[in-house]
Amino acid sequence: MSVKYFPVTRERLEELAETYPTPFYIYDEKAIRENARRVNRAFSVFPGYREHFAVKALPNPFILKILAAEGFGADCSSLSELFLAGMAGMKGEEIMFTSNETPAREYIKARELGAVINLDDITHIEFLEKTLRPGPGLPDLLSLRYNPGPLKEGNAIIGKPEEAKYGFTREQLVEGYKTLKERGVKRFGLHTMVASNELSLDYHLETGRLLFELAVEIKNRAAVNLEFVNLGGGLGIPYRPEEEEVSWEELAGGLKKLYDEIIAPSGLGGLAIHTEYGRPVTGPYGWLVARALHRKSIYREYIGLDACMADLMRPALYGAYHHITVPGRERAGAVKTFDVVGSLCENNDKFAVQRKLPEIVTAAENGTGDFVVIHDAGAHGRAMGFNYNGKLRCGELLLRPDGSVLEVRRAETVEDYFATLDTRAVKNFVP
């Protein structure tokens, strides 16, 4: 069982909503910091451990600054994400640049920042070298991304490795490291990312074993001593209350056993472990707060919110479960069955389908409407937001450890929506 909490009372929400109308995201700084400390403590059994937080999960520079203060680096995959990491004060090898189908200017920016470039394909060795010439040339340190193909089972979100577009094959890796060495690269990393939202401890340990054995194979076949292995992200969180979390201690402890068994006797002593967790770092500590606007009774009972799938796409995209609570009605018991829906003109715009919930009062009924809190939205939540149907993306609040609330991103306005259009040109345009 996982415990679903929400750090703000209904009374406080009423106050907040006067300044920041719903919907909004709110993140719990204290909980994020405590979690980050647990990560670092658990993985401190490895030499040179570093977590590169996957920026795509929660691309807010305030959050990144908090994580940087806890010693985390960043994992970036685009130009904007590189800027975000820079804005948070992260620099050099604290930044991992794991991209694919990478445009030249992104490699140039990553090189400028001194980020660790992680190549997705063997042809990118040549491409990177050309891109950086004339100029700084290849960096001393490069990392390669591995795709284990049929050696590894996939999972629902990321698919089977064999069908995934990412990474080098095993043979390409061996060849790739040899080529890098010939071209003057001196330091090497190995990376993989094979699952997403995976809650099986064994799955992650198996990935560790695969990479540790591969590190030894690379030493033997390419005569390259890796400096680090990056295990990627993909650790799941218990979205459903009945699911169990994988604790950082069991994960790091299990990996350490394999490390001692495989790496220690191989002569690769000192091999550093890096990770790129996103979801389990911030996911459980962020919520989407909306209000119930309308009730509708047809073949099913619907509660319509002022948020929609443009604010949180996971349920529509993956059929993902997000726990829902109604502040102030915790004791009422789940007495009704609702589809909790948004306003997009898409029938999959449903935050919950046939969900048992307390009775919910809507704004149409009492003028304000109950708050509806959607849990575990702190990763891949606001980040996946979009403007389809002319929907404006909501803002983000940060609950500080002293109980104060800071707006860390304002809600979009209609002006933002039109900012990329030249409205004068539209007026003058004669079709």
Ligand X SMILES: *Cc1c(COP(=O)(O)O)cnc(C)c1O
- 276 lies in the binding site for ligand X (CB under 6 A): yes
Per the DSSP assignment, residues forming a β-bridge with 189 are 143, 228
Rule CB under 6 A: say whether 102 interacts with ligand X: no
Between 198 and 396, CB nearer to ligand X? 198
- CB nearer to ligand X: pick between 165 and 356: 165
Q: Could you tell me the smallest distance in angstroms from the CB atom of residue 169 to ligand X?
A: 18
Residue 98 makes contact with ligand X by CB under 6 A: yes
Regarding 57 and contact with ligand X (CB under 6 A), the answer is yes
Gap between the Cα atoms of 148 and 192, Å rounded: 8
Select 279 or 322, whichever has its Cβ closest to ligand X: 279
Residue 120 is a binding residue for ligand X (CB under 6 A): no
Of 143, 102, 27, residue with least CA distance to 376: 27
Smaller CB separation from ligand X, 232 or 395: 232
246 makes contact with ligand X (CB under 6 A): no
Q: What is the dihedral of CA 246, 373, 33, 80, to 10 degrees?
A: 100
Query: Judged by CB under 6 A, which of 61, 234, 238, 327 binds ligand X?
Result: 234
Between 147 and 196, name the residue whose CB sits nearer to ligand X: 196
Instruction: Sort 319 into a burial class: Cβ within 10 Å, 0-12 / 13-18 / 19+.
Output: exposed
Tell me the window of 79-87, 136-144, 275-283, 388-396 that interacts with ligand X (CB under 6 A).
Answer: 275-283
109-131 exposure pattern, b = at least 16 Cβ within 10 A, e = fewer: bbbebebbbbbbbbebbeebbeb
Decide if 394 is catalytic.
no
Q: How far is the CB of 389 from ligand X (least distance, A)?
A: 26
Phi, psi of 235 (to 5 degrees): -75, 130
Does 142 help bind ligand X (rule: CB under 6 A)?
Answer: no
Q: What is the DSSP string of 152-196?
A: S--BTTTB-GGG---SB-HHHHHHHHHHHHHTT--EEEEEE---S
- Residue 284 phi, psi dihedral angles, 5° rounding: -75, -5
Q: Which stretch binds ligand X (CB under 6 A): 9-17, 54-62, 101-109, 409-417?
A: 54-62
Of the candidates 279, 295, 350, 375, which one interacts with ligand X according to CB under 6 A? 279
HSE at residue 121, side-chain half, CA atoms within 13 A, is 11
Count residues contacting ligand X (CB under 6 A)?
A: 17
273 binds ligand X (CB under 6 A): no
Write down the catalytic residue from 76, 308, 345, 394: 345
- Is 199 among the residues that bind ligand X (CB under 6 A)? no
Segment 377-396, which members bind ligand X (CB under 6 A)? 379
Cα–Cα separations (whole angstroms), residue 371 to 22, 290, 293, 310: 9, 6, 10, 18
The Cα 325–Cα 330 span in angstroms is 7
Report the sign of the C-alpha dihedral through residues 75, 78, 79, 83, in that order.
negative
Q: Contact between 75 and ligand X (CB under 6 A)?
A: yes
Catalogue the active-site residues: 345
Site of interaction with ligand X (CB under 6 A): 54, 56-57, 75, 98, 193, 196-197, 232-235, 276-279, 379
